[in-house]
Amino acid sequence: MDIQVIGVRGLPLIQRGDDLPALISEKVAFEDGDILAVASSVYSKAKGFTRELSAIVPGADAVRIAAKTKEDPRFVQAVLDSSTDILLEYPFILSELPSGHIGVRAGVDHSNVEDGRLIILPPDPMAAAAEVRDAIRRITGKDVRVIVTDTCGRAFRRGQTGIAIGWAGMTAIDDYRGDTDLFGHVLEITEEAVVDEIAAFANFIMGESHQGVPAVVFRNCRAWNGHDNVYFMPAEDIIRTALKENKKD
Amino acid sequence: MDIQVIGVRGLPLIQRGDDLPALISEKVAFEDGDILAVASSVYSKAKGFTRELSAIVPGADAVRIAAKTKEDPRFVQAVLDSSTDILLEYPFILSELPSGHIGVRAGVDHSNVEDGRLIILPPDPMAAAAEVRDAIRRITGKDVRVIVTDTCGRAFRRGQTGIAIGWAGMTAIDDYRGDTDLFGHVLEITEEAVVDEIAAFANFIMGESHQGVPAVVFRNCRAWNGHDNVYFMPAEDIIRTALKENKKD
């Protein structure tokens, strides 16, 4: 069966306190097994995961880094507040978040929000995905799968792509270990990060300015089995180690 | 209009000399504007971009690296032959290809091919995409867009995802520079790597064992404007620089 990909259009500008799952459910006739991708930015706005720039007092590290990156020290402070480990300070802050996600500027954003306000990523994006999933089941009776997406740069290639920061009703990774290829060989490439592949295409549908499409529904997608260990342990992450080594110089 | 994503099923096992665009065109009623994603592995098999392991004589570097990676030195030699710059030797070879793509083991693969044979990436993947596009126009009269995909690991996150290594009829990057967000601010995130977002989802449809689905058609996708500079210049690539610095130690 062909897969359908449906951009959810016509949602109002999301405000703090809005019931995002209810608003989406008004626009989509969900079916069991649908995958709903939601932009973390609208989830955060609905939940009030935003900060007033004017209320942030930058510390010494934020002032020091902001002098290099030419950003507002209060913005840098918000990035540091969202981070558990800094891998790179310049030309942009690359840091780890409590979830394990490593991202540019900790996903702190001042696009698509009122002046003087920052959107931060949901502090617990896995719980966010589970909450949206549960709410849609409660509202519609349908068992959907949910991915919370962010937009992020990547190593070696210019341009941002969508990635998954939270998911519910599925594993992050489709684990082929032990499967065989068309010739009966045991597969070498064995772990496919399917949540990120779906989040990437969702981000293409949303568009980077989000074009009023903050959620995307995927219908007729296969199920898979695997695990959720999408984040490396620090010791096994070669690139993280190289960046930390260089930071010491 | 909703987007349809159609896995191309029922293709024979592709052999050297097969007319891949013709075989795909027999299975798909193309429409103008369709995006066809083709796995580089089947393109390479049709074109004979494969190597006999038994015909490869490993050099000193291949023997030295293979001792560390515990791989066949002839396989390592094939990886070195496909590479223009080595960023990392161990625990896996990470290298740059002539196209500018940086990938693990230079995309050399011994899955989905006969024993003792390796599939290498198309040496000119942009030309490969253009050739498939032209052939489909000749066969069907339809103006399709084409992406040649590979599967690749990435920094900071476990698991492989599909990426684009060649494309035709589109730019790699959707360039939003100068666009404004929902609140009228000029956008900060301005370059979206849409070819990779589409390739990622295509790879999800193909499945990592390729499950007999080596091509995927996307219908009703928007067009975009941008540029093709998806590969960083070495000097501006922070992570490449860090890896090269560490390699010197």
Rounded mean pLDDT of A15-24?
A: 97
CA distance B53 to chain A (A): 16
For A197, the closest of B172, B189, B200 (CB atoms) is B200
Averaged pLDDT, A133-141? 98
Phi, psi of B128 (to 5 degrees): -60, -45
B188–A208 C-beta distance less than 8 A = no
Instruction: Give the pLDDT of residue B185.
Output: 72
Distance from CA of B60 to the nearest CA of A (A): 25
Characterize the bridge pairing of strands A191-192 and A85-88. unpaired
Domain spans in chain A, listed from the N-terminal domain onward = 1-49+126-248, 51-120
Chain A hits for B183, Cβ within 8 Å:
112-115
Whole-number pLDDT of residue A7: 96
- pLDDT for residue A188 is more than 90: no
B177 falls in which pLDDT band (50, 70, 90)? Answer: confident
CA distance B183 to chain A (A): 6
Mean pLDDT of chain B: 92
A window 181-210, beta carbon within 8 A of B: 181-183, 185, 187-194, 196-198, 200-201, 203-205, 207-210
CATH number of B51-120: 3.90.1660.10
CA distance B107 to A97: 31
Any B CB within 8 A of A53 CB: no
pLDDT for the residue numbered B236? 87
Percentage of chain B lying above the pLDDT 70 cut: 95
Residue A238 — pLDDT band, cuts 50, 70, 90? confident
- Residue A111: its chain B contacts at CB < 8 A? 181, 185, 187-189
Cβ contacts (< 8 Å) between A205 and chain B: which residues? Answer: 3
B49 CA: distance to closest CA in chain A (Å): 18
pLDDT, average across residues A29-40: 98
Tokens found for residue A157: 């290639």
Residues of B in contact with A11 (CB under 8 A): none
What pLDDT, on the 0 to 100 scale, is given for residue A187?
Answer: 66
Kindly report, residue by residue over B99-137, the tens digit of the pLDDT.
Answer: 999 999 999 988 777 778 999 999 999 999 999 999 999
Nearest CA in chain B to A96: B156
CA distance B206 to chain A (A): 11
Q: What is the dihedral of CA B9, B12, B15, B21, to 10 degrees?
A: -50
Q: Which of A90, A156, A211, A227 to mutate to test the interface with B (most CBs of B within 10 A)?
A: A156
Share of chain A above pLDDT 90, in %: 79
What pLDDT score was predicted for residue A134?
Answer: 98
pLDDT in tens, B202-246: 999 998 655 689 999 999 999 999 999 999 988 888 889 888 887
CB-CB neighbors (< 8 A) of B190 in chain A: 208
CA distance B85 to chain A (A): 13
How many angstroms separate the CA atoms of A168 and A129, rounded? 5
Beta-carbon separation of A194 and B204 below 8 A? yes
pLDDT tens figures, A161-178: 999 999 999 999 999 877
From chain A, the residues in CB contact with B188 under 8 A are: 109-111
pLDDT at B181 over 80: no
Lowest mean pLDDT among A57-61, A97-101, A110-114, B15-19: A110-114
Interface of A with B in 89-128 (CB under 8 A): 91, 102, 109-115
pLDDT at A100 over 90: yes
The CATH H-level superfamily of B1-49+126-248 is CofE-like (3.30.1330.100)
This model's pTM is above 0.90: yes
- CA dihedral of A29, A31, A33, A37, whole degrees rounded to 10: 0
Q: Choose from B40, B161, B175, B191 for mutation: most chain A CBs within 10 A.
A: B161
Distance between B241 CA and the closest CA of chain A, angstroms:
9
Tell me whether A137 touches chain B (CB under 8 Å).
Answer: no
Q: Each residue of A192-210: pLDDT tens digit? A: 999 999 999 999 999 865 5
Per-residue pLDDT at A207: 81
| A and B: number of Cβ contacts within 8 A | 230
For range B41-68, the mean pLDDT: 96
How confident is the model at residue B179, as a pLDDT?
75
| Residues near A115 by beta carbon (within 8 Å), at least 6 away in sequence | B183, B185
Answer whether B1-49+126-248 and B51-120 agree in fold.
Answer: no
Name which of B4, B172, B204 is nearest A2 (Cβ-Cβ).
B4
End-to-end CA distance of chain A: 55
Give the type of residue at A122: P
Residues in A closer than 8 angstroms to B147, CB to CB, are: none
| pLDDT number for residue A189 | 64
